[in-house]
Structure 1
Amino acid sequence: MTKKILFLIPDLEIGGAQRILIFLSNILLKKKFKIKILYLKKKNRNTFKLEPKIKAKCLNLDKETNNFFEKIKHNLIRIRKIREELKDYKPSYVISFLTTVNIITIISSINLKQKIIINERNDLKKEIPFAWKFLRFILYRFSHKVVFNQPDSNKILKKFVSTSKIYFIPNPYILRKKNSKVNREKIILFVGRLTYQKNVNLLIKSFYKSNAIKKGWKLIIIGRGSQLNLLKNKIKRLKIKNNIFFNGTSKQIEKWYEKSSIYIICSRYEGMPNTLIESMYYKLAIIGTKIPGVQYLIKNRKNGLLINSNDEKELTKNINLLLDNKKLRNKLGLNAQKTILKKGNPNLFQNKWLKILK
């Protein structure tokens, strides 16, 4: 009998968790699983295209409010609707992504027979509202499995979940296009959401204070987010509009990875960044912050450069180091690709998931 999988996620907007969900869905589809995706809200932005055999349904539960009682009411509605979907679809497994959806999914499945597999895709030390943190502590133990991709998350999860339920599955490289022989340009690249977490403000300040502008380099920023206007205004104030460019979301991201020479990720916290994995695959010289999800892949001066979190001076110094040393850029990029071909092998990702779903 064909096994049914029901995925749950807040939205299908282009993002790291969504990319992994789609990649996993396609793997399971090829393995003859029946796939359905539920997402809570629809945003007016680019979303991932799905295979025709994958069913997707938006529950339109995107109401936001600051009223405490309204929040409770709204989450009860979410729980009721998700429970109805579980009863109707009767999946063998339910795979949910991200903390709030994980918690709501566990509650929705009480006294039902489905096995709940929850995914944590970020740093568990990140501050979240106390109520969600408390519910995570109480409820995660009732899941069938807990999958995480941030190496340090195990230390926190094992405090309230049995170690037999906890699985570390690193993100795989997903872009499969073979590197074409193109000349690298004087481009520093950033790809990701423009939010407080990603700390793009630091990148702009360090780019401005480095020798990059003087030497004819450009900073290309691909992504959207809540800080877009703030960052544009900063660039305007610094009078560097001819040196820093916002490209929104790109459907041809591979071309930017191929053309660029340096990739910078200066996040305050992360799970395991897909964009870091992609830049490693495309042999870019990488500068990243010393956070677990980055340090799992990048070893300082071996396959990239590491800086302390939010350290503008150190980031500026390392930008200048790479600007002036093409040999170092090539060495770091080549070693980065070797690392990700080993640690991010899609077959390892697939095999670990198939083992969980036996």
Structure 2
Amino acid sequence: MPPIQIGEPIYLRLLFVPACLGILWLWRLSYRFSDRKLLKDSRTSPRALLYPLGGELWFWFCILLAVISLVMALSRPTILATVSQNAGADFIILQDGSTSMRVSDTTPDRWQRSVSWIRVFAEMLSWQDQRVALALFAHRTAPQIRLTRDPNALFFFLDYLDREPPFRLEDDTSWDTNIEEAIYWGVQIVERDAELYGERLSTKVFIVISDGQSWSGEVNNALQLARSRNIRVYVIGVGTLSGGFIPQLPVGIYEQPEEPIRSTLDRQSLRAIAQVGGGEYYELEEDSAQDIALEILIDVQSRTQTTRRQETFVDLYWLFLAIAAGLICLSTLLLQESTQLWWQLAVASGLIALLVS
């Protein structure tokens, strides 16, 4: 790709006129030099006489350059500029919304504790070269927001989801924790974003927040897919090893209540997911929310590419107009006759007409 592109090349034909005038100007300058030499040789004076080097020709030289600048501005030139930017990072938060997240073995419960951590994490982001996506999962994944730099979009959903998961306790599908489905969805959102906006050099990160799931081959396949896309998986465990009872549905008068189900933190499975996913494992009960968020950001930043090159074209239209205006102002200092002033006013009027149009 050429470094300079011309948007309206037809106007470059107008350069033929200043080219001819330039040849005439050079001829006049050489003629003046010969006259200057002849005067020095033919005249005798007790003191050395000083003759202007170019005289009024320098005024015409500035006008000539101003006309060339105007023609170049009309041709709409653009120049290739390479901009280096921070590659940034994309965080896809996969939040467990299954029924076990309603257990109150943490304060106030697992769900509200995890949502409060997401809020802390979002407040620590710069949101300049960082994007965030959010999805909730139980038996199926429910995407909430796509990758965005708008913090208001994330905080809106956090305010809406602050009290309890959107999956109803009455639905059987809310009693399952399907991490592999969530990871597959995360990979799809990354691929879809690349289709819409092109490939980015940003570091891709999954943050899984859950109380655990039994290890299976399907989880391993999902993790291998994420690793093949250079996506690291960080896992945050919510809950305690002692656990707590899952809230039960209200029963009818003649119905026998079901046995209460105890849910505990599956630390071993979550740690295995983080290890295979190439990330780290954290627990909200052992570490503070700020420390976990900071450690993840520092680790991701250390793996992020420093810069990415972005090629863009910069319009030179206004630059050439400014050069033409500057040359006309400079020629004012070289005025010696009123005729030259009228020429300057004519060129200035043409420049103003271009600016207005």
* Structure 2 length-normalised TM: 0.33
| Higher-RCO chain (CA-CA 8 Å, sequence separation at least 6) | 2
Whose radius of gyration is greater, 1 or 2? 2
| Bigger helix share | 2
